[in-house]
Amino acid sequence: MIFAIKPFEIHDGDGIRTTVFFKGCPLRCQWCHNPESWSPKKELLFDAELCRDCLKCVSLCDAHIQSGTSHLFERKNCTACEKCVSVCPSGALEIAGMELSAEEIAEEALKDELFMKGSGGGVTFSGGEPLMQVDLCVDVARRIKARGVNLAIDTCGAVPRSAIDQILPFVDTFLFDIKAIDEQTHVACTGVSNKQILENLRYVDSLGIPIEIRYPYVPTMNDMEDERIACFVKDLKHVTCLRVLPYHSYAERKYARMGLPYPLPNVPVPTKEEISAVVEKLKKCGLANVSTF
Amino acid sequence: MKQPFFANRPLIENEFEQAIFDPSTGISPDELLLTLKEMCDAPTDEARPIVFAKAFAYLLDNVQLQINEHTPFSVKFNLGIDYTEFATKSILQIAVSPQKSRVRAEKLPQEYAQYRNFASVGLDWMMVDFTHTVPNWDYLLKYGFAGILQNARDSREKLSATEAPQSERLVFLDSVILCYEAIIRLLERIYAYSLRFDLPEFSKCIKNLSTRPPETLYEVMMFSVLYLYFEEAGVERARSLGPIDRLYLPYLEADRKRGMAEEEIQDLFRYYFIHFTAAKRFAEQPFTICGSDKDGKDLTCELSHMILDIYDEMDIYDPKIHLRCHKALDERILKKAARIISDGHNSICLINDEAVYRGYERLGIPREESQNYVISGCYEPIIMGREEAEICAMRFNTVKCVEFALNGGKDIMTGIRAGLASKTDIESFDELFEIFLQQLDYCTDFALDFIEKQGRYSTLINPSPIYSSSFAECIENGKDVHEYPLAYNNLSLKHHGLATTVDSLVAVKKFVFDNKEVSLEEIRQILAHDWQGYEELQARITSNTEKYGNNRPLPDQIMSDILEHIADRYCGKELARGGKVRLGLDSVYHCIKHGEKTSATPNGRNATTPISKNLCATDGMDRGGITAYMQSLLKIDFSAFLDGAPFDFMLHPSAVEGEKGLDDFVSLIKIFLSCGGFAMQGNVVGGETLKAAQLHPEKYATLQVRVCGWNEYFVKLSKLKQDMFIRQCEVMGG
């Protein structure tokens, strides 16, 4: 199950890339900008701002109810059957989740092969956590590598070692997230421990595969972790870059479309100056290649 | 100019809007116009070129002057042009303009009636294009004003030995002589007036230009500024300053040898550029830099770099730059240009030399000739000194031919049968497509015929002594440039609205013939009633993914079929008067103007709304992103569309941010060029910025967007146009 294939992604590895977003994630990061990636199942997104109350969907299932002249969406009754999406004239209803075969995913992901090869780019598996569906990942990866295209895996690392071993033969680069080194902070931010994550990161490093470390910098959440992250990363041998990913709040509307409260309504978006200061601080900790977007 | 530029900038960047002309130096535009109209309209036995030249001379002899002491390009003329409204007409243009309709009605009554029929239904737009001239700057700079006058006199003397006294050739040369004598008189008048001011360098420059060709960088720039005024005072519009890096480099080097300081040289360029920024001429003032020669050697020079650096530093959009790209182009130039564009300074258009060369080769013109092309206007190449191409002679709304094909040649909004009478009991998509092509041929054939016939009367409509005088061929042969004395006398046809056309045909194929969800007759009725009562079907058709610009096989194939048909039939077609047909695919604002007269279309579009722009996807339909759009576009054989086929991109600033973003942007450009793309231009702006500007225009007064081949202030666009940009931004990742 995936929820998107996005071309011309320049933030997910070298060159111009197409990113495949797999659905399902073991983490619940408070700042997550892809909440539709959490569940491994299809979900209906409803944008109340776009709904024109045409009521074309109300007769189709129990999730869509007429209230006076208005439309009400009862999420608890929704089975994500998708019938409503095709009759919605305004685009207010949308399904997150596509059941595509490995062949279909690879075909779509390779449509931009021209740009990948012309820019030193490739395909990136992201999510969600792609390695939660490692069999599908391997099947797609095999097809991508057969065409000689670069493959990067953007992983949170909270997966069994066996999943990493399965995908390893196909991976050119890992994009590996470190949300926090302090375990309590990590649990507070993501809902899970970071023990397995850091072990997997050391393991990947020991195999000599290039790794881009990604540090999502979220004020008031994990902004005290920078020095600890720097210390950890310094001990790794195959890190090509530590990239600071500044928190943004663009996903607020996505949460609304999923019927979820936005978890961080009061967290400020860091300024460019703040992020530059973090980058400089990390460099002073002895890391050679630190950057941001 | 010894005064540092930046101290003076605030005093000159709006100088055209703030100009106060000295009434003691001449007659006001209103009064001049009355006399000019009399001169141009009065019954006379004099040949039209002489009538025009006398009017031109009268204008120059009496036009009011202004001297601005804060710029080396000090002089301005009160030609009655409102520079604040992107207006283009001088008072002489206004005075001569009734002649066009008069000549069309008198000389081509039947064709003119049909032309008006076509225009009334929004099918096409045809003009005698005097507004995209590329003078031969090499010739102009070699001889200067006085030298050209002398050349015309010498040629007249030579030809008078064999020509009858009132022959067209001698009349043409007489008109040139009258105009240039007036130019010299005007220069002498400016010089005398300038002595009232403490501007010794300016006075000297004007004095020198009245007697000899330019010899210094300052003089060559002043010459160009003045020449542009003189074309503008007449009926033309010089739409390129030429390849100024190549043209100006020898003067720069000579100035350096004379001891001119680098900062002074750079300031001169700053003053020169800001002159055009201040003039705000419609669609901006272009120039060309870089490029390759016939063997692929990079022509980038030191001045190319300096020009880009100064342009970047000045944060301006006018003049605009046509950057000739090729595989050997200095990497630093391409990266510099990409960074300037990604910073939001979007008036740099990247042109692919290889695509242009192949386009000329298809017309039988070798690289030895085409290597000297510059871009005129938006994207249209002209071989400087060798070619005239009537760049915007026709713009043709292809969407109308879908409407005609569905309705037997009838226009729905007016009921006029403007197209070819064709059958309406259509049984298959192939049959419909065939009828569509027949409509396209019928209408384009007429347009081409009309333009060709109209061309016979170009010198009767608008003699062009100033523009013509830049060509040795015109002076030596005594021929106006519109009597076709140049090596290549081509003519351009532009078809537009193509994505809306393709999407409409795809929709009929899928929903009428393949899925049989609706009959052809029902579709006719639905479109005639602008989708009323059928909004659900409209929504489904609109959201269908089979739309042009998304790298989808079906729409891309239909696009290719249409373009191949147009190319096979018209590209390189020999004209009866000599020369060949060139084709283009850009629309400028006709996507809106023609849309207003086009009924609802099968792709879900409502009546009177815009049709697709240039080669862009239909508004908001390029959901596959920039790479899918580019791949759709790159399936086109651009060699058939020399007259402009741009790739308009819209990118969010985050897509090109930082070193990596810039490197990826450069890669994107290189891929486009290496795959044969023609021209690339676009906007790097966020949808959130545009929305904020729409809500709070006062805070975004300087925000500009690339409209077609030019920029406009976003907040000054109509809501309709603003919304088009916002939608494009949203679907293209902005």
Specify the length of chain B in residues: 734
Residue B545 in tokens: 């993914």
Chain B positions with Cβ closer than 8 Å to A: 535-536, 538-540, 543, 551, 624-628, 631, 654-658, 660-661, 663-664, 667-668, 670-671, 674-675, 733
Q: Is the peptide bond before A128 cis (omega within 30 degrees of 0)?
A: yes
Q: In this complex, which of B654, B655, B664 lies closest to A119 when CB atoms are compared?
A: B664
User: Can you give the residue range of the structural domain that contains A54?
Assistant: 43-96
Residue A274 above 50 pLDDT?
yes
Q: Residue B1's pLDDT is what? A: 58
Q: Residue B112's pLDDT is what? A: 87
Q: Same structural domain for residues A17 and A84? A: no
Rounded Cα gap, residues B576 and B484, in angstroms:
12
Q: Residue B173's pLDDT is what? A: 98
Residue carrying structure tokens 């730059």: B321
Q: In this complex, which of B631, B658, B667 lies closest to A119 when CB atoms are compared?
A: B667
Rounded Cα gap, residues B339 and B438, in angstroms:
46
Q: What is the pLDDT of residues B286-331, one digit of tens each?
A: 999 999 999 999 999 999 999 999 999 998 889 999 999 999 999 9
Chain A hits for B663, CB-CB cut-off 8 Å, are 119
Q: Residue A51: give its domain's CATH number.
A: 3.30.70.20
CB proximity A121 to B under 8 Å: yes
Residue carrying structure tokens 């959440």: A221
Q: Residue A217: give its domain's CATH number.
A: 3.20.20.70
CB contact under 8 A, A87 and B536: yes
Q: Which bin fits A157, alpha (ψ -120 to 50), beta or left (φ > 0)?
A: left
Residue of A nearest to B666 (CA): A119
Q: In this complex, which of A11, A16, A89 lies closest to B536 when CB atoms are compared?
A: A89
Residue of B nearest to A13 (CA): B660
Residue B606 in tokens: 């409502």
Residue of A nearest to B661 (CA): A10
Residue A186 in tokens: 């990590």
Looking at CA atoms only, how far is residue A177 from chain B in angstroms?
20
User: For residues A87 and B188, which has the higher predicted lDDT (pLDDT)?
Assistant: B188
Q: Same structural domain for residues A80 and A102? A: no
Q: What is the pLDDT of residues A112-153, one digit of tens each?
A: 999 999 999 999 999 999 999 999 999 999 999 999 999 999
Chain B hits for A49, CB-CB cut-off 8 Å, are none
- What does DSSP say about strands B387-388 and B380-383: parallel, antiparallel, or unpaired? unpaired
Q: What is the CA radius of gyration of chain A?
A: 20
Q: Residue B734's pLDDT is what? A: 47
Please give, one letter per residue, the 3-state secondary structure of chain A.
Answer: CEEEEEEEECCCCCCCEEEEEECCCCCCCCCCCCHHHCCCCCEEEECCCCCCCCCCCCCCCCCEEEECCEEEECHHHCCCCCHHHHHCCCCCEEEECECCCHHHHHHHHHHHHHHHHHHCCEEEEECCCHHHHHHHHHHHHHHHHHCCCEEEEEECCCCCHHHHHHHHHHCCEEEEECCCCCHHHHHHHHCCCCHHHHHHHHHHHHCCCCEEEEEEECCCCCCCCHHHHHHHHHCCCCEEEEEEEECCCCCHHHHHHCCCCCCCCCCCCCCHHHHHHHHHHHHHCCCCCEEEC
Confidence of residue A49 (pLDDT cuts 50, 70, 90): confident
Residue of A nearest to B651 (CA): A8
Looking at CA atoms only, how far is residue A57 from chain B in angstroms?
12
Indicate the pTM of the whole model. 0.92
Q: Which of A81-90, A192-201, B186-195, B400-409 has the lowest mean pLDDT?
A: A81-90
CB proximity A268 to B under 8 Å: no
Q: How many domains does chain A have?
A: 2
Residue of B nearest to A291 (CA): B658
Residue ranges of E strands in B10-158: 65-67, 75-77, 124-126
Q: Same structural domain for residues A284 and A239? A: yes
Q: What is the pLDDT of residues B213-242, one digit of tens each?
A: 999 999 999 999 999 999 989 888 889 999
Q: Same structural domain for residues A183 and A245? A: yes
DSSP single-letter state for residue B512: I
Rounded Cα gap, residues B405 and A134, in angstroms:
53
CB contact under 8 A, A10 and B668: no
Q: Same structural domain for residues A122 and A155? A: yes
Identify the three-state secondary structure at position B44: coil
Q: Same structural domain for residues A191 and A217? A: yes
Chain B hits for A8, CB-CB cut-off 8 Å, are 625-627, 655, 733
Q: Residue B85's pLDDT is what? A: 55
Q: Same structural domain for residues A55 and A181? A: no
- Between chain A and chain B, how many beta carbons pairs sit less than 8 Å apart? 67
Looking at CA atoms only, how far is residue A7 from chain B in angstroms?
7
From A46, A50, A75, select the one nearest A63 (Cα to Cα).
Answer: A75
In chain B, which stretches have pLDDT less than 70?
Answer: 1-2, 83-88, 702, 708-710, 731-734
Q: How far is CA A150 from CA A13, A145, B581, in A?
A: 10, 7, 46
Chain B hits for A15, CB-CB cut-off 8 Å, are 664, 667
Q: Where are the alpha helices (DSSP H) in B621-657?
A: 625-633
Q: Which of A51, A81, A96 is the last residue of a domain?
A: A96
Q: Where are the alpha helices (DSSP H) in B529-647?
A: 535-543, 553-570, 590-596, 625-633
CB contact under 8 A, A115 and B667: yes
Specify the length of chain A in residues: 293
Q: In this complex, which of A89, A114, A119 lies closest to B631 when CB atoms are compared?
A: A114
Q: Which of A96, A119, A137 is the last residue of a domain?
A: A96
**Best mutation target, B667, B674, B727, to test chain A (most A CBs within 10 A):** B667
Q: Same structural domain for residues A263 and A121? A: yes
Q: Same structural domain for residues A199 and A262? A: yes
Average pLDDT value for chain A: 94
Q: Same structural domain for residues A56 and A191? A: no
Q: Same structural domain for residues A53 and A157? A: no
CB contact under 8 A, A111 and B628: yes
From B464, B322, B472, B295, select the one nearest B386 (Cα to Cα).
Answer: B472
Please give, one letter per residue, the 3-state secondary structure of B139-207.
Answer: HHHHHHHHHHHHHHHHHHHHHHCCCCCCCHHHHHHHHHHHHHHHHHHHHHHHHHHHCCCCCHHHHHHHH
Q: Same structural domain for residues A49 and A29? A: no
ipTM summary value: 0.89
Q: In this complex, which of B535, B657, B733 lies closest to A8 when CB atoms are compared?
A: B733
Question: Mean of the pLDDT values across residues A229-235?
Answer: 95
Q: How far is CA A261 from CA A30, A45, A253, A264, B14, in A?
A: 11, 14, 10, 9, 51
Cα atoms in the Cβ-side hemisphere of radius 13 Å centred on A231? 7
Q: Residue B715's pLDDT is what? A: 77
Q: Residue B467's pLDDT is what? A: 96
**Best mutation target, A6, A9, A10, to test chain B (most B CBs within 10 A):** A10
